[in-house]
């Protein structure tokens, strides 16, 4: 039975179209999850709102603890990694990671970067060959076919690959690098653009994105009928 991890990173707590100054990325994640659950009501969900409850930034204590072998950690080190362990457990349990991520100043929100820093963990999501330290790192989330759905919102237009502002979009490429580093390489991207312009331009972009979300849900659910997700070991 597939498990979904839904992450909302927008600083706006409301949902566009429902709340004043609501979030367009939250609108997309809500649409994805609600449609998924309507088609597969028995699939499970974990929800984490990092936009309203940001993860902690990594600290000196975190670094010292994360790079100490588990069997050598002192009690305070386990405390320093408790939040990270919880977030990593949520990620490992997920078959589909749905991330609502607005484009803030050409990159990801600070809360989402903090989440990334918490879940890229030596010995948990990434590893190295101690016998040959110059070898590439070993991603640890390759035990089954996980998907990541990146649902973003942008104030301006032209940030898609091949468009005039693509070179200034460091959100999706950064997420692709971070998620691929730990073994999540099946990535799907849908974005709303034109929030600053508003009007018909924004309305058309919202409608197009909603259509893409609905099509992606149908595609992924159909793929499960032919290739069921393997149960975690």
How confident is the model over 17-44, as pLDDT tens digits?
898 889 999 999 999 999 999 999 999 9
23 is known to lie in a ligand binding site: yes
Look over the chain and give the mean of its residue pLDDT values, rounded to a whole number. Answer: 94
Question: Stretch 209-219: mean pLDDT, rounded?
Answer: 97
Q: What is the pLDDT confidence band of residue 1, given thresholds at 50, 70 and 90?
A: confident
pLDDT of residue 198: 86
Residues 134-162: what's their mean pLDDT? Answer: 93
Residue-level pLDDT at 230: 64
Q: What is the CB neighbour count within 10 angstroms for residue 215?
A: 11
Q: Where are the domains of the chain?
A: 3-127+138-226
Q: Where are the beta strands (DSSP E) in 157-233?
A: 186-192
What's the mean pLDDT in 179-184? 98
Q: Provide the pLDDT for residue 195.
A: 85
Model confidence over 105-122: pLDDT tens digits? 999 999 999 999 999 999
pLDDT of residue 196: 85
pLDDT digits (tens, 9 = 90+) for 40-88: 999 999 999 999 999 999 999 999 999 999 999 999 999 999 999 999 9
**What is the mean pLDDT of the segment spanning 205-210?**
97
Task: Tell whether residue 24 is among the known ligand binding residues.
Answer: yes
25 labeled binding residue: yes
Q: What number is the average pLDDT over the span 166-189?
A: 97
Per-residue confidence (pLDDT) for residue 151, from 0 to 100: 98
Supply the pLDDT for residue 231. Answer: 60
CATH number for the domain formed by residue range(s) 3-127+138-226: 3.40.50.360
pLDDT band at 226 (very low <50, low <70, confident <90, very high): confident
| Of 138, 147, 157, 149, nearest in space to 200 by CA | 157
Best CA proximity match to 8, nearest among 109, 77, 91, 92: 109
Q: Residue 96: in which H helix or E strand, if any?
A: strand 96-102
**Separation between Cα atoms, residue 57 and residue 206, nearest integer Å:** 33
Is 3 within any annotated ligand binding site?
A: no
pLDDT band of residue 136 (cuts 50, 70, 90) is confident
CA gap 83, 110 in Å, rounded: 17
Residue 232 banded pLDDT, cuts 50, 70, 90: low
In this structure, how many other beta carbons lie within 10 angstroms of the beta carbon of residue 39?
13
pLDDT confidence tier of residue 229, bands split at 50, 70 and 90: low
């Amino acid at each position: 039975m597939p498990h979904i991890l839904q992450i909302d990173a927008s600083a706006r707590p409301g949902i566009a179209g429902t709340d004043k100054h609501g979030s367009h990325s939250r609108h997309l994640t809500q649409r994805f999850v609600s449609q998924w659950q309507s088609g597969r009501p028995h699939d499970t969900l974990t929800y984490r709102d990092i936009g309203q409850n940001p993860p902690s930034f990594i600290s000196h204590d975190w670094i010292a603890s994360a790079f100490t072998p588990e069997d050598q950690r002192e009690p305070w080190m386990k405390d320093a990694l408790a939040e990270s362990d919880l977030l990593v457990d949520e990620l490992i349990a997920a078959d589909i990671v749905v991330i609502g991520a607005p484009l803030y100043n050409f990159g990801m929100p600070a809360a989402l970067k903090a989440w990334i820093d918490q879940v890229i963990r030596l010995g948990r999501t990434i590893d190295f060959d101690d016998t040959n330290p110059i070898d590439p790192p070993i991603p640890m989330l390759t035990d089954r076919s996980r998907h990541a759905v990146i649902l973003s919102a942008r104030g301006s237009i032209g940030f898609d690959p091949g468009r005039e502002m693509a070179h200034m979009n460091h959100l999706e490429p950064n997420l692709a690098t971070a998620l691929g580093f730990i073994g999540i390489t099946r990535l799907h991207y849908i974005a709303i653009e034109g929030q600053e312009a508003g009007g018909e331009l924004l309305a058309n972009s919202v409608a197009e994105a909603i259509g893409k979300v609905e099509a992606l849900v149908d595609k992924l659910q159909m793929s499960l009928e032919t290739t069921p997700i393997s149960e975690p070991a």
